[in-house]
Amino acid sequence: MSERHTINLSTAWRPPSDGSRAWVRHFGRPSGIETGDRVWLVLESRERLSLVLNGVCLSAAIGRHDVTTLLEPRNELLLIPTTVEPGEKLPLGEVPPPAPSHGRYPLDPRLGHLHLEIEANVP
């Protein structure tokens, strides 16, 4: 039987800037990953989105993506709404002010929820 651990990725995002539609989030490689463990990027959303992890475009499908082999010590995740036309800015809605220490925002809840799921002891 495998054990699962979840890491929330819904905070610390940089919202789209001028000329971009991508939300950007950086994160470190989860500690304690051993041979045989799997790391999944899980997207729960009603929107059509593209995910790019460290320059690799993942399937546009909602659900679980095995990213075990894509993880690096420092990672960059892009979330790009595909329902937005090129050149069109994503409406941010009411985004709370940035945290004073690092200026990052929570992910716009209309885009969904993202988390990493670490599955240990996978045969």
pLDDT, residue 123, reads 61
Q: Summarize pLDDT for 13-72 with one digit per residue, the tens.
A: 988 877 778 889 999 999 989 888 999 999 988 877 888 899 888 866 668 899 999 999
Dist CA 79 CA 22 (whole Å): 5
Q: What are phi and psi of 69, to 5 degrees?
A: -80, -10
Which pLDDT tens digit goes with each residue over 86-115? 444 444 444 444 444 466 788 888 888 999
Distances (CA, A) of 117 to 22, 85, 91: 23, 31, 29
Q: Which of 65-74, 77-86, 110-119 has the lowest mean pLDDT?
A: 77-86
Position 100 scores a pLDDT of: 42
Residue 113 backbone class (left: φ over 0; alpha: ψ -120 to 50; beta: rest): beta
First to last CA, the chain: 9
Residue at 71: amino acid letter: L
Q: Which residues, in sequence order, are bridge partners of residue 41? A: 65, 116
Does residue 75 have a pLDDT over 70? yes
